[in-house]
A and B are shown apart, each in its own frame.
Chain A
C-alpha cells in the first residue's frame, strides 16, 4: 500500500484551488509559532496565497510548491532566499495533516524538497531553520538533514530566549541517500 502511494507522489506549483487547504494548514495550531518566513504574512493570507502562485524563482528568488500523494495535497514547500551565486536556498516545509508530521509523510515531503532543489533548480545546498521549541520538526530534520549550527538564545519570546537550529543538505548527500534507498529496495 505504501509502495503504491510512493509511486503516485508528485510536486507542482500552487494554484488558486489550493487556497482553502493552505489557509486551513497555515491556521492550524502551533503553525504560526513554528514558521518564520518573510513571505508568509499571517495577517495577510490572501496576499500570501497570491505570492505562492506567482512567485518566480529567478526574479523573486522564491518558489512555492504543493506535494500531493494520490492527488491529495499533503504538504507545502517554500524555497526562499534562493541565491544563484551560492546556489543554495532556505526552505520552509509544512506537512499539512497533523497525523503525517512525524511519519513517512514528513520524509516524503523532504525527499521532494531535494528532488526540486537538486534535480530541477540545480542548487547545490538547501538549509532550514528550526526553533528548539518545535521538537517534532527537530526530530524529523535530524534524521533527514545535517545539523550545522545551533544559534543560542536567538529567539526572544515572553518566556525568555530560545535556540534556533540550522540544518543543511548538500546535493551530493541527497543523491547518495537516494542511491542507498534504491539499493535496499
Chain B
C-alpha cells in the first residue's frame, strides 16, 4: 500500500512541488486510494454531506447536524478533531471515511464512512485495502478501539464492518432521525490486539 493511498506516480510528480500542488495532484488522482483532506480543502466536501441519501453519510450520536454553513463544516471536520479521508475527486468523491469523537485519554475514535456508489464486496481487494488503511491511520493516532454507529437498515455497511473484524456490541433503539423516521443504531467495535486482553 502506498503512503496515505497516493499512487507512486503522484508522489514522484509531487515531490518537487510545493504543498498546494501536492494537494491538487492528489485530487487529480482517480485511483482507489484514500487521501487525507486538509482543513483548507474540506469545504469542497460540504455539498456531499448535505445531500439526503437513503443512508446517512455521517452519524454523530450526540449532536444534530452541527454544520449549517460551510464555515461550520470546515470547523467541525478540522483535521485535528475529525480527520477526513476521501477517495477520488474531492468535489465528487467515490468514498470517504472519518475518525471522529477522538477520546485520546481512552485511545478511542468513532469510524464513519460511505461508499457513494455502493459498498465493495466484503472479501474484495478494495475492502481489504480499506480496512488496512483505516487501521494504519488509527495506529498513527494511537487509537486502539474503533467504534461505529450504523443505522440498522444499512446491511451492506454492517456486513463490511463485520468482515473487518468489528463485533456488534448493542443496538441503540430509536436513536437516530433520518429521512423522516427514527432508526435503531447498531454499535460495532474493533480493538487492537493490545487491548483485547
A residues apposed to B, CB below 8 Å: 81, 83-88, 90, 124-125, 127, 146-156, 160-161, 166, 168, 170
- A86 close to B182 (CB less than 8 A): yes
B residues apposed to A, CB below 8 Å: 62-65, 105-108, 145, 147, 167, 169-177, 182, 187, 189, 191, 195-197
CB-CB under 8 A for A170 and B173, given A86-B64, A86-B182, A156-B107: yes
Which of A148, A152, A168 has a CB less than 8 Å from the CB of B189? A152
Question: With contacts A83-B63, A146-B173, A155-B106 known, what are 6 further pairs, Cβ within 8 A?
Answer: A81-B62, A84-B64, A125-B174, A148-B170, A154-B145, A168-B172
- A148 close to B106 (CB less than 8 A): no
- B62 close to A90 (CB less than 8 A): yes
Question: In the complex the two chains form, what is the Cα distance from A166 to B173 in whole Å?
Answer: 11
Question: In the complex the two chains form, what is the Cα distance from A155 to B105 in whole Å?
Answer: 9
- A151 close to B182 (CB less than 8 A): no
Q: Which residue of the partner chain B has the closest CB to A88?
A: B175
- B197 close to A160 (CB less than 8 A): yes
- A148 close to B145 (CB less than 8 A): no
Question: In the complex the two chains form, what is the Cα distance from A90 to B60 in whole Å?
Answer: 13
Which of A86, A153, A170 has a CB less than 8 Å from the CB of B177? A86
Pairs of residues from A and B, 10 with the lowest C-beta to C-beta distance, nearest first: A149-B170, A85-B64, A81-B62, A156-B106, A149-B187, A86-B177, A148-B170, A149-B169, A85-B177, A83-B64
- A170 close to B171 (CB less than 8 A): no
Question: In the complex the two chains form, what is the Cα distance from A166 to B62 in whole Å?
Answer: 13
